[in-house]
């Protein structure tokens, strides 16, 4: 999609944006930039649609925030690109009522007024870590019930002092009806606890001693907005290593919090869209290109050219980071894959072997909330983890869906609930591997049902019978259960947020998903029609020796791929990193498993194909975290620029067309023997995958091509697919507000039920969309 092509952006702005001259401001700005479209006010906020070229629309987005009326305040700024509607002029439209469902705002990063107050020694909130106002502060993490009013929040236990009450009741005050309003006299306060829970000190002394402990290389658990963070000096290698071993997190990158934008730019490249994100009310973790390595511990993100960066987003973080003046690791307070701790007693138990000290406070956290993760790709934002700042804002469908609760997938679980044309997506829950994670999942479901007063007749789940989320759905009586094929849900999720209808070709590439033929799918081309989907093509299948074990060991996948390519003549290939990664016995055992088809399911997984190539190149034989090998392969593409690709074949098969990668693997082996650099091979491998997409798109003929699944977190793959498909006359669509990974599955499940509605028979308890 060229940048000169006309696109439409839809913007939803929430906050103090009504009755402050916001619409005339938007009108003048749009007029100056010669954009077409409209702006409208309704009970849910200001809605804007504007059409123009991508670069002008980007300028528009950036200038709205920079030049908005001084009196206005933005609490949430969401935007999505959609197909152009063909507007002729820009107009201010009549206000409408908007959706009736009560809107719950996400937590909002500290505003500049509050920030000034906490650093002003003359202000009564000087150094007060729970300062907030109508424009900023906690929301979703303190709400117990609706409507949003102090007695129904976790602030109800704090009686406002006369001064706070005066602000709260004064319509001219910035804190008029600010539900979490508080001050040092009447609000929550800090305590520093040792590992046994004994109070060491309170208030500002607690904060100063916590900062000193971080400076000394200790691990401090800090109770924040939506849970505990573990804070460690990012420049202290031994401290970071200690955190890794205690948290049992081997190599997965840690997110960093920087004292300011200026310090972040010393360590990372920050483009204008990324700067906007860092400073936005959502204040997510933004994946940035690393600039310098000095000053940061090597083991923060070993071998990774990116850094996950965020800025302080609560007064507590501002005060701590101002004290420290250096970047810190701010990672979720949990043991490996468990959910984030929210309660101090729970944190003492679960984090006792990790944290040296606990900086806690007495404002209860009603529900857990991780930090969100966002990356800029192809000139747009793409949310990779949807939590603080975004959840539980709705995604708007083009038309109303029936009332459904979707329980999502297994990894990166999030649930969704539809109310009319709005789909509320929960905060990120995580992988449902552990008992605490499953508990968090059930809690989020109960929480959503209560908050939104949901009584749905339908529960949607994944087709995979063993996912805990699917098992939960099947256990429920009184409701109809709809099982949705995983990759179909991926594609529908992307179509729903882009507001497009069938027909379309969906390319759903990820690690794995349950196929209706009981094989493991993962390299799918699904033709989406009004009736459902057809598996139009898929990657050639191969065996996974040891099933789940192969997911963690790229060398196992590579062994299988090499045998598919070269038969049993592997020893003739000479010295290969893959083969060298096994002992003689291990390899014999695996080859026997493959030969006799024992515990070796067939898969078409694109994610595993990345693993295999990473192993063959000697990049990674065993993964320390999910997706590591594929990430490392992507990183190699940064070093080279080539448009070359490898040969492949599109074959007819009984289960749809199959893309044969055997010629590619042969060519890669030849190039390795000829001493080609790994970066070139990695780039050509990515290019080949994109050529496969283009080839199938041509075969299919549908103009719309929808890209979804975990593989499209890969920036090189996504940007190149978007460009090449666009060059060939197709319309590519990719994710924006909803993650391409399994965090987006719940939205797709809602969309699937919506589509299947017309076909199901009354009284039927189970339906399958597969
Ligand atoms: Zn504020
Ligand atoms: Zn007070
Ligand atoms: Zn998936």
Q: What is the pLDDT of residues 219-237, one digit of tens each?
A: 999 999 999 999 999 999 9
CA 161 – ligand 2 centroid, Å = 4
280 C-alpha to ligand 1 centroid (Å): 13
Taking the centre of ligand 1 as the mean of its atom positions, its distance from the CA of residue 455, in whole angstroms, is: 36
Where residue 17 falls among pLDDT bands split at 50, 70, 90? confident
Q: Which residue has the higher pLDDT, 760 or 753?
A: 753
Which ligand has its closest atom nearest to the C-alpha of 118? 1
Which-ligand-closest: CA of 175?
1
Number of other CB atoms surrounding residue 277 within 10 Å = 27
Q: Is 568 left (phi over 0), alpha (psi -120 to 50) or beta?
A: alpha
Q: How much is the average pLDDT of 214-223?
A: 98
- Give the pLDDT confidence score for residue 107 in this predicted structure: 96
Annotate 206-249 with three-state secondary structure: HHHHHHHHHHCCCCEEEECCCCEEEEEECCCHHHHHHHHHHHCC
Identify the three-state secondary structure at position 582: coil
Q: Read off the pLDDT of each residue in 285-300 and give the average, rounded to a whole number.
A: 92
Confidence of residue 290 (pLDDT cuts 50, 70, 90): very high
Residue pair 295/267 in contact (Cβ under 8 Å)? The answer is yes
Per DSSP, helices labelled H in 6-53 are: 22-32
* CA–centroid distance, residue 3 to ligand 3 (Å): 30
Distance from the alpha carbon of residue 123 to the mean position of ligand 1, in angstroms = 14
pLDDT, tens digit (0-9, with 9 covering 90-100), for 178-197 = 999 999 999 999 999 999 99
Question: Rounded to the nearest whole angstrom, what is the distance from the C-alpha of residue 163 to the centroid of ligand 2?
Answer: 6
Q: What is the pTM of this model?
A: 0.96
User: How far away, in angstroms, is 72 Cα from ligand 1 center?
Assistant: 12
**Dist. CA 317 → ligand 3 center (Å):** 34
pLDDT (0 to 100) of residue 93: 92
Greatest alpha-carbon pair distance for the chain in Å reads 84
User: Counting ligands in written order, which one lies closest to the CA of residue 181?
Assistant: 2
Nearest-ligand number for the alpha carbon of 708: 3
Identify which ligand lies nearest to the alpha carbon of 745.
Answer: 3
CB-based contacts of 697: which residues, under 8 Å, 6+ apart?
505, 705, 725, 728, 730
CA of 203 to the centre of ligand 2 (A): 15
Note the ligand closest to the C-alpha atom of 167. Answer: 2
CA 167 to centroid of ligand 1, rounded, Å: 13
CA of 113 relative to ligand 1 center, distance in Å: 6
CB-CB contact of 383 with 369 (8 Å): no
Q: What 3-state class would DSSP assign to 470? A: helix
Is 700 in contact with 657 (CB distance < 8 Å)? no
User: What's the average model confidence in pLDDT over 393-411?
Assistant: 93
CB distance 381 to 274 below 8 Å: no
- Asked whether 678 and 634 are in contact (CB, 8 A), the reply is no
Strand stretches in 25-92, DSSP E: 36-42, 45-53, 73-82, 90-92
Q: What are the pLDDT digits (tens) for 428-447?
A: 999 998 999 999 999 999 99
Distance between Cα 312 and ligand 1 center (Å): 14
pLDDT at 424: 96
Q: What is the 3-state secondary structure of 305-341?
A: CEEEEECCCCHHHHHHHHHHCCCEEEEECCCCCCCCC
Give residue 165 CA to ligand 2 midpoint distance, Å: 7
CA atoms within 13 A on the CB side of 65: 23
Q: Which ligand is nearest to the CA of 178?
A: 1
115 C-alpha to center of ligand 1: Å?
Answer: 7
* Poorest-pLDDT segment among 16-25, 239-248, 462-471, 659-668: 16-25
Ligand 1 centroid vs 239 CA: distance in angstroms?
34
Return the minimum-mean-pLDDT range out of 56-60, 66-70, 130-134, 753-757: 753-757
Q: Cα torsion at 483, 488, 494, 499 (round to 10°)?
A: -80
Residue 499 pLDDT level (bands cut at 50, 70, 90): very high
């Amino acid at each position: 999609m060229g940048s000169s092509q006309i696109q439409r952006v839809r913007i939803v702005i929430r906050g103090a944006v009504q009755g402050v001259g916001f619409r005339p401001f938007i009108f003048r700005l749009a007029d100056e930039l010669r954009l077409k479209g409209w702006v409208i006010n309704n009970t849910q906020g200001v809605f804007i649609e504007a059409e123009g070229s991508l670069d002008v629309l980007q300028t528009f987005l950036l200038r709205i925030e920079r030049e908005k009326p001084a009196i206005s305040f933005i609490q949430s700024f969401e935007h999505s690109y959609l197909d152009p509607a063909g507007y002729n002029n820009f107009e201010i439209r009549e206000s409408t009522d908007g959706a009736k469902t009560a809107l719950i705002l996400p937590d909002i990063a500290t505003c500049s007024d509050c920030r000034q107050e906490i650093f002003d020694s003359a202000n009564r909130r000087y150094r007060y870590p729970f300062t907030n106002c109508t424009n900023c502060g906690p929301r979703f993490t303190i709400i117990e019930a609706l409507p949003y009013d102090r007695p129904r929040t976790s602030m109800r236990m704090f009686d406002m002092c006369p001064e706070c009450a005066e602000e709260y009741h004064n319509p001219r005050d910035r804190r008029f009806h600010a539900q979490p309003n508080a001050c040092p006299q009447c609000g929550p306060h800090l305590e520093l606890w040792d590992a046994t829970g004994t109070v060491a000190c309170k208030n500002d002394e607690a904060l100063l001693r916590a900062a000193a402990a971080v400076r000394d290389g200790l691990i401090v658990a800090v109770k924040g907005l939506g849970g505990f963070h573990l804070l460690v000096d990012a420049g202290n290698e031994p401290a970071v290593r200690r955190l890794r071993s205690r948290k049992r997190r081997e190599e997965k990158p840690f997110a960093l919090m920087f004292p300011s934008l200026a310090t972040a730019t010393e360590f990372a490249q920050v483009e204008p869209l990324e700067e906007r994100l860092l400073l936005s009310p959502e204040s997510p973790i933004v994946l940035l290109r690393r600039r310098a390595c000095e000053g940061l511990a090597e083991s923060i993100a070993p071998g990774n050219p990116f850094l996950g960066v965020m800025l302080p987003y609560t007064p507590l973080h501002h005060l701590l980071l101002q004290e420290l003046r250096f970047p810190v690791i701010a990672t979720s307070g949990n043991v490996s894959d468990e959910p984030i701790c929210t309660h101090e007693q729970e944190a003492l138990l679960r984090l006792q072997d990790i944290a040296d000290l606990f900086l806690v406070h007495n404002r209860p956290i009603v529900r857990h909330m991780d930090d969100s993760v966002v990356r800029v790709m192809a000139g747009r934002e793409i949310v990779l983890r949807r939590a603080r700042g975004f959840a539980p804002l709705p995604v708007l469908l083009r038309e109303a869906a029936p009332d459904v609760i979707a329980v999502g997938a297994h990894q990166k679980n999030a649930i969704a609930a539809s109310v009319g044309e709005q789909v509320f997506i929960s905060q990120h829950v995580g992988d449902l591997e552990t008992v605490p994670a499953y508990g968090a999942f059930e809690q989020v479901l109960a929480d959503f049902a209560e908050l939104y007063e949901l009584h749905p007749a339908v529960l949607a789940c994944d087709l995979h019978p063993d996912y805990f989320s699917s098992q939960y759905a099947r256990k429920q009586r009184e409701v109809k259960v709809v099982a949705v094929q995983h990759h179909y849900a991926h594609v529908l999720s992307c179509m729903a947020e882009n507001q497009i209808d069938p027909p379309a070709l969906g390319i759903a590439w990820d690690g794995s998903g349950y196929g209706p033929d009981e094989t493991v799918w993962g390299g799918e081309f699904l033709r989406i029609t009004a009736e459902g989907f057809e598996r139009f093509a898929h990657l050639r299948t191969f065996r996974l020796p040891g099933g789940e074990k192969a997911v963690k060991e790229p060398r196992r996948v590579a062994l299988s791929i090499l045998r598919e390519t070269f038969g049993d003549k592997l020893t003739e290939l000479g010295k290969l990193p893959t083969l060298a990664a096994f002992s003689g016995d291990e390899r014999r055992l695996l080859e026997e498993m493959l030969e006799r088809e024992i515990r070796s399911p067939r898969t078409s997984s694109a994610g595993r194909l990345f693993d295999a190539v990473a192993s063959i190149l000697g990049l990674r034989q065993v993964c320390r975290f999910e997706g590591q090998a594929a990430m490392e392969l992507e990183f190699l593409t940064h070093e080279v620029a080539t448009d070359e690709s490898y040969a492949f074949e599109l074959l007819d098969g009984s289960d749809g067309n199959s893309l044969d990668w055997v010629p590619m693997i042969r060519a890669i082996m030849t190039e390795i023997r000829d001493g080609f650099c790994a970066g070139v091979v990695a780039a050509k491998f990515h290019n080949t995958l994109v050529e496969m997409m283009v080839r199938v798109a041509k075969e299919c003929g549908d103009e719309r091509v929808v890209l979804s699944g975990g593989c499209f977190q890969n920036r090189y793959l996504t940007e190149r697919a978007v460009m090449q498909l666009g060059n060939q006359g197709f319309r590519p669509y990719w994710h924006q507000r909803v993650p391409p990974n399994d965090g987006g599955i719940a939205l797709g499940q809602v969309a699937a039920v919506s589509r299947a509605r017309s076909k199901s028979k009354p009284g039927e308890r189970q339906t399958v969309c597969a």
